[in-house]
Amino acid sequence: MNVVPQLIGYPRIGPNRELKWTLERAWSGRIERDRFAERIADLRRAHLAEQRDAIGPGGSVADDFFLYDEVLETALMLGIIPAALTAELERDPFAALTALARGTPEREAWEMTKWFDTNYHYVVPEVEQLPTRLGPLPWRAPLGDGQAAWVVLGPFSLAKLSKVGPGVDRRALAAAAGTALWSFVRERAEATPAFRLQVDEPCLGLALTDDDAALLDAGYGAGGRLRLATAPLVTVQFGSPAAETIEMLGRLGFVVQMPLAAAEELRGTAAWDAQLELVLAVLDGRSVWPDDLMPVARLLSALPDDGRLVRLVPSTSLIFLPYTVDGEALPPGFQFAREKARALAGWAAVLPDGAPPPAPEPPRAVWPAVGELTARTPRPERRAAQADLHLPPYPTTTTGSLPQTAEVRHLRAALSRGELDEAGYHQAVGRLITDAIGWQERIGLDVLVHGEFERTDMVEYFAEQMDGFLTTRHGWVLSYGSRCTRPPILAAPPTIREPMTVDEWRLAQAATDKPVKGMLTGPVTIVNWSFRPPRVPDDQLFWAVAQPIADEVRHLADAGARVVQVDEPAVRERWPLPTVDAEERRAVYARGVRAALNHVFAQPAHVQMHTHMCYGDFGEIVPLWADAGVDVASIEFSRSKDDSYIRLFYALFPDGHLQIGPGVFDVHSPHTPGREVMDQRLRHFEAFMAAADLWVNPDCGLKTRGWPEIERQVGDMVAAARARREALARAGG
C-alpha cells in the first residue's frame, strides 16, 4: 500500500508575519509597486519551501498563497467585481482587492464575516453579473510545480458564500463559475502537464438540500475529463461530505477528502469504489494537541491493497495554527503547523504496518460541571436603578479599543526588550488613558472607555492574567487581511488572584465626570478564540471560564463602575455547523452559553451591563441570550446591512426591550459614510425600535484606525446622534 502525506493549506502570514508587514507597507504607500510584487513572489516561494521542508520529498504541498482571502481572490479571478472597479482590476489588481476588502475614503468595503466556525474571516463577494472566464491574479499565477497543488475555491462554495444581485440566479452563478474554472484548468493541463489542482469546497460538508444538490450539479456539470496527470482533489474541510457527493465527484475524476470516521462507514460502497485515490483526514488541523495514530493504523491495516494511492491529509488547512512551537516556553507535546506537518510525514512513512515513536502528551485537567441559572433583577427595575446615569437620548459610545498607534506598540516593545521598566511603562499607559478621556470628552461622547492601550489582544490580555492558560511569544494566527492574533491555550480551569482591569478603569474614571465602561472579554469568546483541550464538552469550558470573568465584573462593580461591557463577538463562532449530526452538539453548546452568560451578567441592578457582537450571522444563537441579564448590546450593522438579528434581539426578553446600538460605521475602513448616512441608519431602526432604546456606536473597536480617521468618523457619529436628539425634541419626545 502506497501511503503519502499531503498538506491542503498552511499558514501564509510568515514565521515573523512577513506578509503582514509587506501588505501594511503597501497600504500605507511605503513600498513601490514593482518592489511589492517582487516581495510577494519571494514570500510565496518561502511559503512553499517551508511546506516542502516539513512534509518531506515524498509529500505534496498547497499553493494557497492568497494575499487577503481565498473567497475574495477567487471572485476577482472570475471577474466578479463592481462595474466601477473593472478598469482598476485590469490596471492594478491589488488596488481593486484593497478597495473591496478594506474600503477607501470614497467607498465602503464589501461585507466581511466569519469563515464557518473559526476566527478567520472572509470578504463576501457581491455578484452583479455572471463570470465568463478565469484569469489568475498576478500573485496567483500557477507555478507548474509538480509537488504543489494550485488552490482555488470551488464553484459550489463560491455560489453558496456570495451575495447575488437582482437578476442573478445562484445556480447559474455556480454553472458559470464552474465552466470558467474547468476551461482554465484544461488550458493549464495542456500547457503545463505537471499542473495539479486543489478545489476547496468547504460547504460540501454541511447538510445539503435538494437545491444544494442542483447547485452542485450545475457547478460540476462541465468538470469532467480535465486531463490532469494527478487526480484533482476536492477538500471538504468542515463537516463530512455525503456518500452521494463523493460518488458523483468520483465519477467525474475528482478525489474527495473524507474524515477518518466517514471512511470507515463508506468502505465497500459505491462512493468508496468511485474514488481513484483515498484521501483521508487524519490530523486535527485546528488543535495544538497531538493526534492519535491508532485509529488511522487500524483502518489502513484493515484495507485491502487494491493499488489505490492513500493520501493522508489534515482535517483542514493548517492556517488556523501558529508556525512552530520552537522557541516557546510550553510543556512538551504541543504541536503547531510545522510539527503537525512533520507528524503527518512521519505517519505516512511507517503506515500501514509500523508506528512512529510515541509523542509526549501535554497534561490533562479535570473540568467542573455546569452550574444552575440565576435570575437577575427584572429589566424595568434595572432601568430605574440606572436612571441616575443621566444619559441623553441616543447615547453615544465606542465599543472599547482606541487607536493602537506606533507609540503604543513602541511602549510594548521597549518593555519587552527591557528598555523600559514596569513603572515607566504603566506611567506612559496612564498618560495615554487620560489623554484618551480628554479626546472623548472634546468630541462629545456620552459613555467613555479607557482605550485598552495596555492590551495586545482582547483574549490574550486576559489569558496572561489567569491561571489555567498558556500563552506564546510568536504564536500568531491570521484572522483577516493582515490582522493576526496569538490564541492562548486553555489547559486547565482558569482562576484569578487579583483584579485584572480595575486599576485602568479607576484611572480613567478619575479623569471625567462621565461614566467610563469597565471593559472585559466574555467567557464564550475567550474559549472560542483559544486553543481548547480535546474531548472536553463546550458547556464545561464556557462555564469554567465564566467563573473568573464574573469575579472581575464584581471587582469593577465594587470599585464603583456603573457601566460594564462584556464583549462576546465570538459567541456564535463554534456553534456547531448544520451537519447531519449537529442537533446533539448544538444542545451542549447552547446549555453552556446560557449558563456562562447568565452567570457573568447576573450583577447588581444599578450596574448597566453591556455586550458587543460583530461580524457573524447571530440569528440562530439569539435565543441563547434569553437568560442573560444584559441591558445594552452594540451590534455590527453598517458593513453587513443586515438588521434581522437586531430585530430578534430587540424582541427577545419578556420583561422589556433590550437597548441596542447598531453599528453606524465600519471600523475596518478609513471611509466615513458621513453624518447624513449615519442619521439615515438610525432612522431605519426607529421604524421598529423606540428612541429610548437606541444607542449610537461604531461596528467594532477602533484599534486598527488612526486618530485623524476616527476624528472624522466619530465626529460624524456624534453629529448624527445630536441630529436625532433634535428631531426627537421637535417631535415632543
Q: Per CATH, which fold does 387-465+500-730 belong to?
A: TIM Barrel (3.20.20)
Average pLDDT, the chain: 96
Task: Tell me how far apart the alpha carbons of residues 200 and 141 are, in angstroms, rounded to a whole number.
Answer: 17
% of the chain at pLDDT higher than 90? 92
Q: Can you list the alpha helix ranges (DSSP code H) found in 152-203?
A: 155-161, 170-191
**Helical packing angle, 170-191 and 210-220, nearest 10°:** 30
- Phi/psi of residue 675, nearest 5 degrees: -60, -40
pLDDT at 106: 84
List the domain boundaries for the chain. 3-81+125-350, 387-465+500-730
Sign of the dihedral through C-alpha 316, 322, 327, 333? negative
pLDDT at residue 183, rounded to an integer: 98
pLDDT greater than 90 at residue 671: no
Q: Average pLDDT for residues 550-575, to the nearest whole number? A: 97
Share of the chain above pLDDT 70, in %: 100
668 noted as active-site residue: yes
pLDDT digits (tens, 9 = 90+) for 515-545: 999 999 999 999 999 999 999 999 999 999 9
Residue 249: pLDDT band (50, 70, 90) is very high
pLDDT given at position 107? 87
Instruction: Please give the pLDDT value at position 701.
Output: 95
Cα 193 to the center of its chain, rounded Å: 37
Here the cell at position 706 is 488612526
CATH fold of 3-81+125-350 reads TIM Barrel (3.20.20)
Pick from 333, 236, 293: which is nearest to 531 by CA?
333
**pLDDT given at position 202:** 98
Burial code (b: 16+ CB inside 10 Å, e: under 16) for 225-253 equals: ebebebbbbbbbbbbbbbbebbbbbbebb
| Angle at alpha carbon of residue 650, lines to 501 and 397, rounded to 5° | 40
The model's confidence at residue 670, banded by pLDDT at 50, 70 and 90, is confident
Largest CA distance in the chain: 82
Indicate which residue of 121, 668, 671, 684 is catalytic.
Answer: 668
Work out the angle between the directed axes of helices 538-559 and 502-510 (0-180°, nearest 10).
40
Q: What is the pTM of this model?
A: 0.95
pLDDT in tens, 230-240: 999 999 999 99
pLDDT at res. 279: 98
- Identity of the amino acid at 409: R
Task: List pLDDT tens digits, range 656-669.
Answer: 999 999 999 999 88
Separation CA 288–CA 336 (nearest Å): 6
- pLDDT bucket at 418, cuts 50 / 70 / 90: very high
Q: 3-81+125-350 and 387-465+500-730: same fold?
A: yes
Omega of the bond leading into 352 within 30 degrees of 0 (cis): yes
What's the burial of 303, exposed, middle or buried (CB within 10 Å: 0-12/13-18/19+)? middle
Residue 22, φ and ψ in degrees, nearest 5: -65, -45
* Mean pLDDT confidence for 694-716: 95
pLDDT the model gives residue 354: 80
HEC profile for 19-64?
HHHHHHHHHCCCCCHHHHHHHHHHHHHHHHHHHHHHHCCCCEEEEC
E-strand ranges in 212-254 read 233-235
Q: Which of the four pLDDT bands, split at 50, 70 and 90, describes residue 82?
A: very high
Residue 723: pLDDT band with limits 50, 70, 90: very high
- Quickly count: other Cβ atoms within 10 Å of residue 108's Cβ: 20
Question: Mind listing the pLDDT tens digit for each residue in 347-383?
Answer: 999 998 887 778 888 989 999 999 999 999 999 999 9
> What is the reported pLDDT for 463?
98
Whole-angstrom Cα distance, residue 116 to residue 203? 9
Rounded alpha-carbon distances, angstroms, from residue 455 to 50, 372, 404, 451, 667: 31, 32, 9, 9, 18
* Mean pLDDT of the 574-601 span: 95
Can you give the pLDDT at residue 199?
Answer: 98
Which pLDDT score is estimated for 566?
A: 98
* 3-state secondary structure (DSSP) of residue 258: strand
**Using CA atoms in the order 534, 538, 544, 550, what is the torsion angle rounded to 10 degrees?**
140
